[in-house]
Amino acid sequence: MAQREFAAKIAHLRNLSSRFVDYLGRETEVAEENLHLILEAMGYRLDDQEQLERDAWQLDRAQWYELLEPVTVISPYRGWRVNLYLLDAEKGNSAQWQVTFEDGTERSESFDASALAESGEYWMGSDRYVRLELPIPENLPLGYHRIKVSVGERQQTTPLIITPATSFQPESLADGSRIWGTAIQLYTLRSERNWGMGDFSDLTDLLERLSAEGADVVGLNPIHSLYSVSPEHASPYSPSNRSYINPLYVDIEQVPEFAQAAKLKRRVSGKAFQKKLAELRQTEDVSYTGVSELKYAALRELYDTYKSKHAGKGTERERAFQQFVESQGTPLLEHATFEALLVHFKALDINAWGWPMWPEAYQNHHSAEVQAFIEAHPDEIAYRQYLQFIADEQLQNADQRAKALGMKIGLYRDLAVGADRGGAEIWANRESFCLDAAVGAPPDALGPNGQNWGLPPLDPVKLKRDGYQTFITLLRNNMRACGALRIDHAMALLRLWWCPPGKSAAYGAYVYYDLFDMLGILNLESQRNRTMVIAEDLGTVPPEVVEYFPKAELYSNKVFYFEVGEAGCTPVEEYAEKALAIVCNHDMPTVHAFWQMSDLELRWQLGMFASEADYHGEQHKRSLAKQAILDGLNAYNLLPEGVPDQASELEEMTLPLCLAIHTLLAKSHSQIIAVQLEDLMLINKPVNIPGTSDEYPNWRRKLKEPVVNLLQRPEIAAFCQKIGEVRRQG
């Protein structure tokens, strides 16, 4: 077999697709060079034919030597069966399966392997191996179990995960209720009491005020843990660890230890400190460095107060902290260890921004050196665990307040598609990631080179070998303290566009994951945590997603901008019912910017168009879209008085027109709609420009005014009232 054929065989076995359907609906062949670059990123040496041949045969044969797969996920969409691998000659041996359930109980049955259906065969010389379908009872309980199969002298035990067909569906929406709320970047909230960026107390206040206006949901940007030593690394979509929370969202003065920290209280109330807080509140953009400096100093003092007042004293507070630490287990310990190591090595070397810059022995979270560090620095690690404890506590309080207010969903959280290469999540789960590749998106009209987000992808082979533990932890921790979880780029449950190192996304290709495994585990965690799932399914949607996401009762994500085309606006009757609909999101221009086309001008100034012709072409498309919006409003008799019916005659967005657009969206069949607060304020400045990093200050722009001021304005109160009325009309 030639070298190219071995490479093609490995690509096939690693679910690396050689074809895809592009944004224009055309089936496109992936260049062989691209496939080879991805294989090299996976660790295969294409310049060593002998090794390549060994790798190909190892991949091809390995499973047939094992009785069971590394983990079996039972999905109703695939059937109640376990794949069993035997030599043909072994089928006559006595055989038995035994399942040990989560609660420690067991169930076992004998079976006749020769009577099982075959679903595959593999010849090694004169030996025939077969894959058999071992049926298991459909009344086994959902959950994370262990299955042991014995055939003759051979036996093997592996995880068995039994999953439901659908995600959790809240009773509050079961009657078809149509609700509304908002989607926010938490750090953008202003108040007269925060420390320069929105925090969990601002969130609770927002819940109370919007609930009073009839809102039933408040969506959060990802609140994942970032880098404590690099505060200006601010992107919530490039976090250090998606399983844990950014402590900068903690309201220092609401932590129970603050009342006992006399020295800290005096310092905070002092004129100099209050002057600094006032300066941080007044900035147009969040000063992460300034906020971080004040908050981390205070957080350390809060922890010192906890130690002096509670640690080792058997108080209720100590028991609560210890219970949190025990419930979070190894993932929290590893996160806290990373945080402590990061501070340690950054103090020694300013360039030690993440684990790839640490001494080699500390790059492996299982090493003896890391274990020695844990044993030598228990206080530093406990401090980082304490930060997660108080952050989780305040988020839980906000969630409980939403429930007490009777909000039908309350909070929804957002799970980013990946984590930063140098952060805690990758360091503690290196076994599950492909470190030399990055996720992104294939080329499209606005990005001829595609998008490379720089985030290492989960490796589907490694992920399955690990029993999906990394994925399970991510879901479980992000479903804490919320009524819904929005999964960014949810098509990653099926496939991800992998980009090779040092190349643009134009050199990428799709790598496929086991959809039924991933979807089944998502459904199981959704049911257990009583958290509904919103699957962000924007862009080119493959047919598997179109079929199985609705079957799993995942809520779709609809964006009004994408529902405006050459044929006009999508009729409101055609919006999916199980969906979250929004006019625009954090990656798109605000309503005001959209109408003025200032986003296009900004992208032109930043050199993001390939040519001036492309820039003018997008302006022309936008003009057509604006006219289509006015035509759509006219069709539903929603065009405000005084607003011309020709878009060319209205250069600037007005609040009445903004309300009309949101009213049109509110008439849609989608059960959930969200209004961005920046659109109520007619903000022009974007919070993020995709495809930029240092060229634009992403993830920093605050709202113009506190929410309390906004909602006291009669025209905004009328806006909320109108949206609520339309939603209730059904």
The CATH number assigned to the domain holding 95 equals 2.60.40
DSSP assigned state of 456 = P
Task: State residue 651's pLDDT score.
Answer: 85
Q: Are residues 190 and 141 in the same domain?
A: no
DSSP assigned state of 446 = S
What is the rounded CA–CA span in Å between residue 161 and residue 616? 53
Residues above pLDDT 90, as percent of the chain: 93
Task: State residue 693's pLDDT score.
Answer: 83
Give domain status of residue 259, yes or no.
yes
Task: State residue 443's pLDDT score.
Answer: 85
Q: Give the list of residues 6+ apart from residue 311 with CB closer than 8 angstroms, or none.
A: 318
Q: Lowest-confidence range among 110-119, 156-165, 444-453, 456-465?
A: 444-453
Q: Are 526 and 552 in contact (CB under 8 A)?
A: no
Task: State residue 4's pLDDT score.
Answer: 87
Q: Which of 335, 295, 286 is nearest to 186 (CA)?
A: 286
Domain CATH number, residue 556:
3.20.20.80
Q: Are residues 473 and 352 in the same domain?
A: yes
Task: State residue 342's pLDDT score.
Answer: 98
Task: State residue 517's pLDDT score.
Answer: 98
User: Tokens 């049955």 label which residue?
Assistant: 109
Task: Write down how long the chain is.
Answer: 730
Give domain status of residue 407, yes or no.
yes
pLDDT tier for residue 447 given thresholds of 50, 70 and 90: confident
Strands (E) in 65-105, as ranges, are 72-74, 81-87, 95-100
Vertex 340 angle, CA 288 and 501, to 5°: 70
Give domain status of residue 34, yes or no.
no
The mean of the pLDDT values for the chain is 95
Task: State residue 172's pLDDT score.
Answer: 92
Segment 322-347 mean pLDDT: 98
Give domain status of residue 430, yes or no.
yes
Q: Are residues 368 and 243 in the same domain?
A: yes
List beta partners, residue 16. Answer: 511
What is the rounded CA–CA span in Å between residue 232 and residue 83? 49
Q: Are residues 490 and 351 in the same domain?
A: yes
The last residue of one of the domains, among 162, 194, 225, is 162
Segment 462-469 mean pLDDT: 95
CA-based radius of gyration for the chain: 27
Q: Lowest-confidence range among 45-59, 70-84, 236-250, 502-516?
A: 45-59
Q: Are 113 and 84 in contact (CB under 8 A)?
A: yes
Domain count, the chain: 2
Question: Has residue 17 got a pLDDT over 80?
Answer: yes
- At 305, which helix (H) or strand (E)? helix 288-309
What is the rounded CA–CA span in Å between residue 142 and residue 88? 32
Residue-wise pLDDT for 352-375, tens only, equals 999 999 999 999 999 999 999 999
Q: Lowest-confidence range among 402-411, 446-455, 501-510?
A: 446-455
Give domain status of residue 343, yes or no.
yes
Segment 192-199 mean pLDDT: 98
User: Tokens 């607060």 label which residue?
Assistant: 677
Give domain status of residue 168, yes or no.
no
Rounded to two decimals, the pTM is: 0.96
Quote the domain boundaries for residue 533: 173-586+673-729
Q: Are 639 and 629 in contact (CB under 8 A)?
A: no
Q: Give the list of residues 6+ apart from residue 45 with CB closer than 8 angstroms, or none.
A: 51, 52
Give domain status of residue 46, yes or no.
no
List beta partners, residue 440. Answer: 452, 497
Residue-wise pLDDT for 606-626, tens only, equals 998 889 999 999 999 999 999
The last residue of one of the domains, among 162, 190, 207, is 162
What is the rounded CA–CA span in Å between residue 670 and residue 557? 9
Task: State residue 449's pLDDT score.
Answer: 82
Q: In this structure, are strands 72-74 and 117-124 parallel, antiparallel, or unpaired?
A: unpaired
Residue-wise pLDDT for 286-308, tens only, equals 999 999 999 999 999 999 999 99
Q: Are residues 436 and 547 in the same domain?
A: yes
What is the rounded CA–CA span in Å between residue 90 and residue 283? 73
Residues above pLDDT 70, as percent of the chain: 99
Q: Are residues 140 and 228 in the same domain?
A: no
Q: Are residues 286 and 143 in the same domain?
A: no
- As a whole number of Å, the end-to-end CA separation of the chain is 64
Q: Give the list of residues 6+ apart from residue 671 with CB closer than 8 angstroms, or none.
A: 173, 176, 177, 178, 179, 555, 577, 578, 579
Q: Give the list of residues 6+ apart from residue 486 with CB closer than 8 angstroms, or none.
A: 219, 412, 413, 414, 415, 533, 534, 535, 536, 557, 580
Q: How far is CA 179 from the centre of its chain?
A: 23
Q: Are 261 and 677 in contact (CB under 8 A)?
A: no
Q: Are residues 413 and 533 in the same domain?
A: yes
Question: Has residue 595 got a pLDDT over 80?
Answer: yes
What is the rounded CA–CA span in Å between residue 535 and residue 484? 10
- At 580, which helix (H) or strand (E)? strand 579-582
Q: Are residues 150 and 194 in the same domain?
A: no
Segment 109-123 mean pLDDT: 97
What is the rounded CA–CA span in Å between residue 235 and residue 279? 23
Give domain status of residue 720, yes or no.
yes
Question: Has residue 466 got a pLDDT over 80?
Answer: yes
Burial class (CB in 10 A: 0-12, 13-18, 19+), 137: exposed
Q: Give the list of residues 6+ apart from residue 615 with CB closer than 8 angstroms, or none.
A: 600, 603, 604, 609
Task: State residue 691's pLDDT score.
Answer: 82
pLDDT tier for residue 327 given thresholds of 50, 70 and 90: very high
Q: Which of 365, 369, 368, 347 is nearest to 355 (CA)?
A: 365
For CA atoms 723, 726, 728, 730, the dihedral sign is negative
The last residue of one of the domains, among 107, 135, 162, is 162
Task: State residue 2's pLDDT score.
Answer: 67
Q: Are residues 153 and 184 in the same domain?
A: no
Q: Are residues 129 and 195 in the same domain?
A: no
Name the more confident of 174 and 195.
Answer: 195
Name the more confident of 26 and 322.
Answer: 322
Strands (E) in 444-553, as ranges, are 451-455, 484-487, 495-499, 509-512, 532-535
For CA atoms 8, 13, 15, 21, the dihedral sign is positive
The token duo for 141 is 């309980």
The token duo for 426 is 């990758």
Q: Are residues 132 and 216 in the same domain?
A: no
Residue type for position 66: E
Angle separating helix axes 378-404 and 368-376, nearest 10 degrees: 80
